[in-house]
A and B are shown apart, each in its own frame.
Chain A
Amino acid sequence: MKLWAYILRRLILIVPTLIGVTVITFTISRLIPGDPIAVSLGPYASQEQIQFMRAKWGLDKPLTIQYALYLRNLSRGDLGVSIHSKRSVLDDLKDFFPATFELTTVSMFISIVLGIPIGIIAAVKKNRWPDFVTRLYALAGVSMPVFWLGLLLLLVFYLKLGWLPGVGRLDPHLSPPTSITGLYLVDSLITANWRVFWDALKHILLPAFSLSCVIMATISRMTRASMLEVMTENYIKAARAKGLSERVVIYRHALKNSLIPVVTIIGVMYGVCLAGAVLTESIFSWPGLGRYAVKAITFLDLDAIMGFTLVATLIYVFLNLIVDVAYLVIDPRIKY
């Protein structure tokens, strides 16, 4: 019951943050030099179109009224129209969201499933070669631009070795699975379409790995540091003293308690992942939000970019909320 009260309180506290976020996005969309409407409609807009948009956004009215209109349009889900696709930005974002969600989730999965064990091994073998190897990897991992790593993976595994496909979500000869969730891996599993599942899996591997490199490095270092700290606690000594095997001490006693800081970093990392998707998706022609945003940039499609900014930020804000709630679940000692 207390948990629900906490979640409710946090949801209410999100409101001022969201207002602040919209103030910033509103300011940015008014920053463009020249006539924002003329810019957002592109060079071929007719005079009537410009007049219509002017009235809709109230550009002849004072800034506060303009902001109120901006909020009203947002609350109706009106994020403007993309110059490039000529469709409502919200519809575009809805269409491209599942691909990004699938990609970021798979890369977070890879990072967590590999990153935490790597961190544990580094902590257990502290100052021996596994620790040095992971340290080296972590240092290189956080220093590599994600788009460059993507290109290298593409070069080696697609162009040179030909082991994995390099572009898109699916082989063009295969038709996408019946859309239930929009996630190809899930949909093909539900419909038991194994060929599509296998192909989709092969397609997601390279982009997911290039995205997860930095995140895995960060998670493994965090796990290591946190494990080492926990291993000095008295209850670990007690567990060893009562004759428990080292395995049980590490996995049952130390790991559980060292996961709390790791969970924080996982929340933050999902945001990093989302930003990284902007770069990775355009390299692997992954039809998600990131590639949409980069295309919008090439056309200076302001409505589309601001729509993406807003949606990405919303996801980020809610992720942080989920992380805070996850603390309560993992560590019953924490009280809010």
Chain B
Amino acid sequence: MALNEEMQTEETERHSRGWKFTLHLIWNNPLMVVGLAAVCVLFVMAVFAPLISTHDPFKINPPQRLKPPSATYLLGTDVAGRDIFSRIVYGSRITLQVGITVIILALLIGYVFGIVAGFFGGGVDELFMRITDVFMSFPYLVLAMGLTVALGPSIQNAMLAMAVVWWPTYARLIRSEVLKLRGRPFIYASKGLGATNLFIILRHILPNSWVPVIVQASLDFGRVIMYAASLSFIGLGAQPPTPDWGAMISDGRGFLEQAWWYPTFPGLAIMVTILGFNLVGDGLRDIFDPRLRRR
């Protein structure tokens, strides 16, 4: 009993040191701090959009169309006289919503397939690998395009299509994690004690396999946003008058000569967002890298 308690305190101590160490690692990675700042700004924009925006993002005001950036219209106005800054602020909600939904959907499908294939192996696994092979032999954007057209262009269908394109990456990653864990002694021990497969999966496989998955997901976040913007740009994502960044660039491209600010600023917002998530993803990968940890 005493020994058990001692082990427990030691465990918590190691954990708290671990967290402090993690914070220390984050702080010493300036690029990750920059990335985290960009991501925080995005979340703040999304949550406090009504407070931050200076105008109604949907309010059409024809006399004020295509006005250059000024004190009233921080980033200028678009073809309908709507304030571009406010539309960008509200657009952050859509960007985050798309990124989170697609990643979660893809993770859910990926987990189910990855665990089933990795845990049970054999013919199921073989079949599963061939299925992911087929999905991965499509260029991502092209398959997402085809799917969205067939389902009908809308932001929901674009998200669904992207999740369908994305899940094989996660399924494979999770499968390989499960394969690594499956042969470990503690799994055998658990089986020997009479644990059911479901218990082993929930209690042992899931908690021990999430780190590489989180790293991959954070690295993918930027790419999902990029693909979503691309789909919106070719008219397959958010439909007007939704303040979607990709759709705003698409609307603004015709006015490049008269109103350079129109497509430029939404694109800048996309770039900063993706850069932020990429930096965070890179940073997380370094932090969870055991070679770096042991240093």
Contact = CB atoms under 8 A, between A and B. Distances in A.
Q: Do A and B assemble together?
A: yes
Interface of A: 16-17, 20-21, 23-25, 28-29, 31-33, 139-140, 142-148, 151-152, 154-155, 159, 271-272, 274-275, 278-279, 282-283, 293-294, 297-298, 300, 302, 305-306, 308-309, 312-313, 316-317, 320
A32 to B, nearest CB: 5
A147 B249 contact: yes
Contacts, number: 135
Given A16-B130, A143-B275, A145-B246, A152 B139 contact: no
Contact of B267 (A31, A151, A278): A151
B236 A297 contact: yes
A159 B263 CA distance: 14
A147 B233 contact: yes
Residue of B233, B235, B263, B272 ringed by the most chain A CB atoms within 10 A? B233
A321 to B, nearest CB: 11
Nearest to B229: A145
A317 B246 CA distance: 29
Contacts of A300: 149, 153
Contacts of A139: 31, 275, 278-279
Given A17-B137, A139-B279, A312 B142 contact: yes
A279 B140 CA distance: 14
A130 B152 CA distance: 47
B256 interface: yes
B230 A316 contact: no
Nearest to A24: B134
Given A20-B134, A145-B229, A294-B234, 14 more contacts: A20-B130, A23-B134, A24-B135, A28-B147, A32-B151, A142-B278, A148-B263, A151-B264, A151-B267, A154-B256, A271-B139, A272-B139, A275-B140, A300-B153
B141 interface: yes
A214 B165 CA distance: 21
A31 B141 contact: no
A139 B151 CA distance: 34
Nearest to B268: A148
Nearest to B134: A20
B13 interface: no
A17 B133 CA distance: 7
A298 B235 CA distance: 7
B138 interface: yes
Contacts of B143: 24, 309, 313
B149 A302 contact: yes
A217 B250 CA distance: 25
Residue of A143, A282, A298, A320 ringed by the most chain B CB atoms within 10 A? A143
A251 B147 CA distance: 46
Contact of A309 (B31, B133, B142, B235): B142
B112 to A, nearest CB: 19
Nearest to B260: A155
Nearest to A307: B146
A159 B256 contact: yes
